[in-house]
Structure 1
């Protein structure tokens, strides 16, 4: 099973995990590395919800969506 952990590849080649994966110290592991933008980590959003927000915004703003959720709003 593939598991994804966020890490920073330092200029000297060392890989620094932002969270320590539970299996890290048990054995050598193969890894796949995906390079993201050059922006500092605190400025990036590697969260699926954040990344999809703009794509979903059109759906969220439709009248049909408001009607579908209307029953959950407090009565006025």
Structure 2
């Protein structure tokens, strides 16, 4: 994976993230941009209003593991100093 990151860096590719709205026919419109989107290629990630039932059902089971003191200790080095 690091090779991919350095490859993109060497090619001077910059990633921008903006919020857009996609209409019923698939036209993408920026929500806050006063200028049109530049011509080119893009990656699109969208948010759905549907919630995966499996995620909801597994949340309680995962919370049991996540909320244990052992988990807090294991991840403590990533927390800011208190």
> Fold match, TM over 0.5?
no
Flag the structure with more relative contact order, 1 or 2, with Cα contacts below 8 A and sequence separation at least 6.
Answer: 1
Q: If the length of structure 1 is used for normalisation, what is the TM-score?
A: 0.35
Q: If the length of structure 2 is used for normalisation, what is the TM-score?
A: 0.33
